[in-house]
Chain A
């Protein structure tokens, strides 16, 4: 018998005795009635999010401030161009990395800097030495201040995590309300064939491993900038 069959066999054997339902022994302060069926809608318990775009944007901005993400709403392409140029100047970018996309192509065009494209095979050292990685995304999540990226929407796996500064270009209609909405969106978009990697990025890379003191840029980007147009 294969190891697989043996393990599955042991599992089935073990499960012949039913386990008590969870929560029966909880103390009074923690006791809530058991649900008849295991729940699938978590919205009533998760952190609350308002319905309108403005509420979502305000919450996203609040979460961003807390996470030390630089979040900027921009009205149109002109404003995006201005802000991008200002950022490139302030940070002293010389080389950027990006991938093909409607917004990224535009950014690449206005910046006019040396560029590493991660569309096809690329040179890892070139990517590593880029000053910023500019990507698009699948969604922004107001509830948590997160960006959803996948290998398809954000130019592969490394682009959004290897360069020291990650810049996200998003559209207004991508700003979703909460995590359940984000997973629904991913399922709708990719249900027929998932990319090999999807990621929920929430703030720049961080660690607290030394004396529980927050330090940004442990391994991934030290900075995260999000432009939402």
Chain B
């Protein structure tokens, strides 16, 4: 199976280790990966802000770039949801509708790919820490990630998972929402941090670096002892 990666723009620029971890895990499992270097962004920021024409201009390139890909695996629930769900809406009643649907069918989120497609839960990781899991909204509700990441975490040696209250409630990031309504976004983040803190976990783990960026940024500013880590990073630890 030839796997084409998609690495969202902000992971490329801010959290390269998340992408690198995904590559390591996939290669450890004996898969070949390929990365279309021209990939930049899925277009979500423009789409969510109401600029659908602009989003389409970016997304068209993405469709073309992955036209011949067999399977596309990405390391973000949110950008995955953009391609799986929202591209269909974005290209609805346009000449590219069929292609958007075909593309959507090839896209997998990393943890879902491992568990559902490959049937793997033990990737040979070892990470002695107590963690709590934050269900990123897009991953949870658009992609259906719930059991998959937990199944993977359960097989990580030395790791203890403690669930927090309202693990499914939004952290408040929401893309441009976080800067258009920072007061609401921040309040939501505080609620999230509080429930994570109550578990006294060492790390908040999630399938979405964007949520973690928001949570970590908030915790650092408020000097709360919280550390965040993407699931791929946990799975890469040995």
Interface set of A (CB-CB < 8 Å, partner B): 25, 27-29
Contacts of A28 in B (CB 8 A): 142-144
Bitwise interface map of B from 74 to 112 toward A, beta carbon under 8 Å scored 1, else 0: 000000000001000100000000000000000000000
B144 touching A27, Cβ below 8 Å: yes
Q: Please measure, in the bound complex, the distance between the C-alpha atom of A29 and the C-alpha atom of B146, giving whole angstroms.
A: 10
**Is residue B141 contacting chain A, with contact meaning CB distance below 8 A?**
yes
Kindly provide the distance from the CB of B95 to the nearest chain A CB, expressed in whole angstroms: 19
Assembled-state Cα–Cα distance A41/B225 (Å) = 54
Contact with A along B115-145 (1 / 0, CB 8 A): 0000000000000000000000000011110
Q: How far is the CB of B46 from chain A (nearest CB, A)?
A: 20
Total residue contacts A-B, CB cutoff 8 A: 13
Is B141 a contact partner of A25 (Cβ separation < 8 A)? Answer: no
A contact residues around B146 at 8 Å (CB):
29
- A and B contact pairs by CB, cutoff 8 A, 13 listed: A25-B85, A25-B89, A27-B85, A27-B141, A27-B142, A27-B143, A27-B144, A28-B142, A28-B143, A28-B144, A29-B141, A29-B144, A29-B146
Minimal beta-carbon separation of B101 from chain A (angstroms): 12
10 smallest A-B Cβ distances: which pairs? A28-B144, A27-B141, A27-B142, A29-B144, A27-B144, A28-B143, A29-B141, A29-B146, A25-B85, A25-B89
Residue of A25, A28, A29 contacting most chain B CB atoms (<10 Å): A28
Q: Other than A27-B85, A29-B141, give 10 A-B pairs with Cβ distance below 8 A.
A: A25-B89, A27-B141, A27-B142, A27-B143, A27-B144, A28-B142, A28-B143, A28-B144, A29-B144, A29-B146
Nearest CB of A to B3, in Å: 21
Total number of B residues with any Cβ neighbor in A under 8 Å:
7
Residues on A with C-beta less than 8 A from B141 are 27, 29
Interface of B is mostly: helix
A25 vs B146: C-alpha distance when bound (angstroms): 19
Min Cβ gap B147→A in Å is 10
Q: Which A residues lie within 8 Å of B85 (CB)?
A: 25, 27
Assembly CA distance A27 to B89 (angstroms)? 14
- Chain A residue numbers with a CB within 8 Å of B142 are 27-28
A25 contact set on B, CB distance < 8 A: 85, 89
CA distance A45 to B76 in the complex (A): 35
Query: Which residue on A lies nearest to B92, using beta carbons?
Result: A20
Among B52-86, those with CB < 8 Å from A are 85
Q: How far is the CA of A29 from the CA of B141 in the complex (A)?
A: 7
Residue of B at shortest CB range from A20?
B92
What's the least CB distance linking A29 to chain B, in Å? 5
Residues of B near A29 (CB, < 8 A) are 141, 144, 146
Nearest Cβ on chain B to A26's Cβ, whole angstroms: 9
B125 → chain A closest CB, angstroms: 26
Complex Cα spacing A27 to B168, Å: 14
Shortest distance between the CB of A28 and any CB in chain B (Å)? 3
- A25–B88 Cα gap in the complex (Å)? 10
Question: How far is it, in angstroms, between the C-alpha of A139 and the C-alpha of B143 when the chains are bound?
Answer: 46
Assembly CA distance A28 to B85 (angstroms) = 10
Chain A positions within 8 Å of B143 at CB level:
27-28
Closest to A27 in B: B141
Q: Which residue of B lies closest to A30 (CB)?
A: B141
**Bound complex: CA of A27 vs CA of B80, how far in Å?**
13
In angstroms, how far is the closest chain B Cβ from the Cβ of A158? Answer: 45
With CB as the reference atom, state the residue of chain B lying closest to A26: B141
List residues of chain B with CB within 8 A of the CB of A27. Answer: 85, 141-144
Name the CB-closest residue of A to B138: A27
Closest to A31 in B: B144
Nearest to B112 among chain A residues (CB) is A28
Bound state CA distance, A28 and B142, in angstroms?
6
- Residues of chain A lying within 8 A (CB to CB) of residue B144: 27-29
Interface residues of B in 136-169 (CB under 8 A from A): 141-144, 146
